Amino acid sequence: MNDLSLEVLPGQVFGILGPNGSGKTTTLGIILDVIKKKRGEYRWFGEAPSAESRKRIGAILETPVFYPYLSAVDNLKIVALIKGTSESRIDAVLETVDLHERKQDAFKTYSLGMKQRLAIASALLADPDVMILDEPTNGLDPQGIAEIRQLIIQIAQQGKTIILASHLLDEVQKVCSHFAVLKKGKLIYSGSVDEALTGTDTVEVAADDMSLLEEAIQQFTHTESVRPEKQFLRVRLTDNQNSVDLNRFLIERGIIVSHLLQRTNSLEQQFLQILATDSNSALNSTVNQTATNHA
């Protein structure tokens, strides 16, 4: 990890996005007190971290972790004892993740999807303020992925703060309200999903008189935001308007542009590049999948 600083506020569904090996699990391991940090600090609920603060968090790191020979119920009883909560919610959380019928079966007999669901049930058990989910859909089939995502969205709607680590842009986009992008332990980006990933593309515009140009664009009714960059203005448009519409408006105003370029979201491209440079073939297939989704 290198100089990473993040803040997650109550009620956010916060995605930590990055390819494998980018430091997602390490970051989560540090704030859950199972990985030693060289320096730096973190706080939970505005206080110094302790075992008590961890009891208010429901977390899974990497793979679901349970005693293979114990049933779902016995495994959750152990969690309840550690967290100091009553066992009365066990049936309810198993119902939530739809494992009720198999609750007396040993964990080792479960499919991967059921194991992931039990992990989520375990994280939900103490009715925590914060949930931490690390690659919750890893290794699942499309149906399993859809189920888990639906479950996360459902939990988020109850107002819980969720921190979700994933290497899937698509997943973060579908589930999260805010997100951060990590690469090799460094923070590349942090912000809200709506701002960064959805909404319309941006348009780069330049003209001889930049201040006049900016003034004119501000008056364009479909302009959402204008941000000056080195050589041009970056304009975000709404209402499905594109560079053609903007150009038409500027010409009507008597402004001739010297540079006009429609850009698909730059962050997305940056993220795709991060993934593409990764040698992992699984990730490459993800790139293709993601690219298709946004084509």
Partner 1 sequence: MPRLIAIEWLKLKSYRPFWILMILYFVVLGLVLSGVGFFLEYLASTGGGNFNGLDPSMVPFYDFADIWQNLTYMATFLKIFLGFIVVISITNEYSYKTIRQHIIDGLTRWEFLASKLLIILTITVVNTLFVVVLGLILGSIYSPVKGLDVMFINSDFLLAYFLDVGVFLTFALLVGMLIKRTGFAIVLLALYTFFLEPIGALILSEVYDQYTFHQYFPIRAINNLIPVPFGKYAFQEVQDYVAVGDVVLVTAYAALFIFLSYRLLKSRDISG
Which of 153, 269, 151 shows the shortest CA–CA distance to 201?
269
By beta-carbon proximity to partner 1, the closer residue of 82 and 251 is: 82
Q: Which of 63, 177, 190, 270 binds partner 1 (CB under 8 A)?
A: 63
By beta-carbon proximity to partner 1, the closer residue of 76 and 175 is: 76
Residue 59 is a binding residue for partner 1 (CB under 8 A) = yes
What is d(CA 19, CA 21) in angstroms, rounded to the nearest whole number?
6
Residue type, 8: V
Nearest distance from residue 118's CB to partner 1, in Å? 12
Q: Which of 29, 89, 148, 179 binds partner 1 (CB under 8 A)?
A: 29
Nearest distance from residue 126's CB to partner 1, in Å? 8
Q: Give 83's contacts (C-beta < 8 A, 6+ positions apart).
A: 55, 125, 126
Q: Report phi then psi at 225, rounded to 5.
A: -155, 155
Task: Give residues 71-110 in contact with partner 1 (rule: CB under 8 A).
Answer: 71, 74, 77-79, 81-84
Residue 67 is a binding residue for partner 1 (CB under 8 A) = yes
What is d(CA 193, CA 24) in angstroms, rounded to the nearest whole number?
18
What is the residue whose two structure tokens read 């491209």? Answer: 269
By beta-carbon proximity to partner 1, the closer residue of 34 and 251 is: 34
Nearest distance from residue 26's CB to partner 1, in Å? 10
Positive or negative torsion for Cα 14, 167, 285, 153: negative
What is d(CA 295, CA 286) in angstroms, rounded to the nearest whole number?
14
Q: Which of 6, 35, 188, 260 binds partner 1 (CB under 8 A)?
A: 35
Q: Which of 13, 22, 54, 72 binds partner 1 (CB under 8 A)?
A: 54
110: left (phi over 0), alpha (psi -120 to 50) or beta: beta
Interface contacts to partner 1, rule CB under 8 A: 29, 32-36, 51-52, 54-55, 57, 59, 61, 63, 65-71, 74, 77-79, 81-84
